[in-house]
Amino acid sequence: MNLIFKKARLIEPGNSFHNQVIDIKIKNGIIEKISPNIQSEESFKEIELDNLHVSVGWFDTSVSLGEPGYEERETIANGLEVAAKSGFTGIALQPNSNPIIDNQSQIHFVKQKASGFSTELYPIGALTKNSDGNDLAELFDMKNAGAIAFGDYNKSLDNANLLKVSLQYAQDFNGLIIAFSQDSNIKGKGIVNEGITSTELGLKGIPALAEELIIARNLFILEYTGGKIHIPTISTSKSVELIKEAKKKGLNVTCSVAVHNLFFNDEVLKGFDANFRVTPPIRTEEDRKALINGVLDGTIDCITSDHNPIDIEHKKLEFDLAKNGTIGLETAYTALQTILPTDIIIEKLTSGRKIFGLSTLSVKEGEKANISLFTPDENFEFDEKNILSKSKNSAFIGSTLKGKVYGIYNQGKLQLQ
């Protein structure tokens, strides 16, 4: 599709057109011209949207879909449509399907199912066979098949030696190890953050220590082995400090935070809404502010929706019986726009590409057009009718959000809401 985006404000710090209103001419999927005013051409479709902002395409580092095995939660096809309409030109797919994505045939399967969509899918391979934490999966074979990293979704490795071996082994092919951090013994039967709110509600708590202890252990192991590690969805103030210190030492560590951990504190649990039952748990206001500061000072490298669809049979239950997880693709940008500057949001929604070893992008003449389309204007209340996913388990229902995502242009295709 050949088109011209009219009157678009580019958000890309470091680009000579940053924060300027420009026209962008795209021919056969390549940016042919960028100028303050491009003349109309008969063979080019013009796209003009209210207060249009554009940036390099967003990349979500943690998305669960369900297929294969849990198609009632979400399919790959619909999930990629949701991602596109939510502004994401690329997603990293978690391996928590049924069967677990722990071998090259499963990598090939999900890549084949994702072929032809405007949003690109990049599979994460399981770190251990069946994600059971006992034996390493076929890491090198999965890497060759297209896996961009290796981790067991929301499962922490109890076996410290297995993490050591995986970090040593992955260095042979520049593999990235994802190390979710939560001590299962200290967590015990906890389901929410341990604190005043959990005590008031009579819900079993998960101490911040459960996360921090494993992060400290994993960083010690990284210091010993070398290699590179990504710590996903951190949730406590101490976790931010531990990673900041590790970076000062020169360790090759990156981390992410989930949008809902930046947006909510554990006061929201008082309604016993199971959509707020997530992993890691929503923490205190002090933790929330520390996470925001960690984003602003660069300690936290990227922000993820941590999109995790759960069908109604497993979510619309009593709080202590419901499965963990919230969907988040549809609300990622508009929730962040209420708490962070737009430049920072775009940086944190695009920096994951470099962390996961993908080519970095730019809105420049001669480059492939990989673009997210949005506007930061207007507050609105998010409700169930805004949900595009098959599953409706959103923690953001009833929240006041800001801005709007128009869609994306990628793979030579324009996809708008």
* CA–CA separation, 211 and 325 (whole Å): 17
Write out the two tokens for 202.
Answer: 């009579």
* Amino acid (1-letter code) at residue 412: G
* CA–CA separation, 32 and 21 (whole Å): 17
Are the beta carbons of 101 and 67 closer than 8 angstroms? no
Helix, strand, coil fractions of the chain, as percent rounded to 5: 30, 25, 45
Write out the two tokens for 287.
Answer: 């933790």
What DSSP line would sit under 99-141, residue for residue?
S-S-SHHHHHHHHHHTTT-SSEEEEEEPSBGGGSSSSB--HHH
Are the beta carbons of 332 and 349 closer than 8 angstroms? yes
- Other C-beta atoms closer than 10 Å to the C-beta of 216 total 17
* Amino acid (1-letter code) at residue 405: V
C-alpha pair distances (Å), 98 with each of 131, 203, 256: 11, 30, 25
DSSP β-bridge partners for residue 193:
206
Which residues are part of the catalytic machinery?
A: 306
Helix axis angle, 237-248 relative to 208-225, nearest 10°?
A: 10
DSSP letter (8 states) at residue 327: B
Range 135-144 burial, b when 16+ CB lie within 10 A, else e: ebbbbeebbe
Q: What is the 3-state secondary structure (H, E, C) of 233-272?
A: CCCCHHHHHHHHHHHHCCCCEEEEEEHHHHHCCHHHHHHC
Helix axis angle, 285-296 relative to 237-248, nearest 10°?
A: 30
